[in-house]
Amino acid sequence: MTKVTAQLSVSVDGFYAGPRHTGDGDWMTSAESAGFFRVTRWVTDAMAWRERQGFAGGERDTNSDVVAESFEATGAYVMGRRMADGGEVPWGEEPPFRAPVFVVTHRPRPRVERKGGTSFTYVTDGVASAVEQARAAAGGRDVAVAGGGSLVRQVLKAGLLDELELHVVPVVLGTGLRLLDADLDLAEKEAVELTPIRVIPTPQVTHIRYAVRGRAPLQLDDRGSGGGPTVVS
């Protein structure tokens, strides 16, 4: 049964990168990348990630197992245009996905085939269409929303996300690009309810996987003062 999943490394204050890089300078030395590199360091250090990139070394530990599990569970990816553009050169001829990738973009572009099973299909008719195409291509495995953060937010907002895993990195960045910023179109006293279904603590990062239950009204309660049931509607 194919699920639509997303996972993102975030700081304790919810940022997946430093403040957005604009202008001419080198992204690699920007404040945006400094934040991004900090919260994704546990990935870069993981042997399972390094093997996919063709790099030596790395740690064979719980964090590496989390990366490996994620690669194995995923049959197709949905990706934002900015992330796809940014990765095109560094990912090279044999990108680490080894699965079809559907890029949400406004600019039509022919499908690109890479070595190792990765392809990039550019989808111009919206997020829901990209998710549907990825579902059809996933061969019964999961569809992973690879990022960036604004695409994850769009998929959540559209009610299309089944699971969200946050890799919470023990750092406070103070500023940057925030995954859960305020454009979820929630009504007053409305929220998105989740259920934690797996928590894996490690010294470098706390992995918390949530099932997304959906929108629900915030219920008032009586602070327990009646001595009866605490939550009243």
Interface positions with its own copies (CB under 8 A): 11-14, 18, 28-29, 31, 33-35, 37-38, 41, 44-45, 49-50, 53, 55-58, 90, 156, 166, 168, 170-175, 179-180, 182, 184, 186, 188-196, 199, 201, 203, 206, 208, 210, 218-221, 223-225, 227-228, 230-231
- Complex with its own copies: residue 37 or 113, whichever CB lies closer: 37
**What's the first-to-final CA gap in the chain, in angstroms?**
35
Closest distance between its own copies and the C-beta of residue 96, in Å? 12
Kindly report the number of other CB atoms within 10 A of residue 109's CB atom: 13
| Pick 55 or 60: Cβ nearer its own copies | 55
Nearest approach, Cβ of residue 114 and its own copies (Å):
18
Which among 122, 135, 68, 61 is positioned nearest to 96, based on CA atoms? Answer: 68
* Both structure tokens of 175: 């500023």
* Minimum distance from residue 173 beta carbon to its own copies (Å): 5
Nearer to its own copies, 19 or 98 (CB): 19
Smaller CB distance to its own copies: residue 72 or 221?
221
Give the C-alpha separation, 52 to 68, whole Å. Answer: 9
For the bound state, the minimum distance from the C-beta of residue 133 to its own copies, rounded and expressed in Å, comes to: 27
The smaller minimum CB distance to its own copies, of residues 110 and 196, is found at: 196
Helix axes 127-137, 149-157, angle to 10 degrees: 90
Nearer to its own copies, 13 or 72 (CB): 13
Angstrom distance (rounded) from CA 141 to CA 91: 23
Count the residues in the chain.
233
**d(C-alpha 72, C-alpha 220), whole Å:** 42
DSSP code at position 51: H
Question: In the complex, what is the shortest distance from the CB of residue 167 to its own copies, in angstroms, rounded to a whole number?
Answer: 12
- Whole-angstrom distance, CA of residue 19 vs CA of residue 122: 27
Q: Please state the closest distance from residue 128 (CB atom) to its own copies, in A.
A: 20
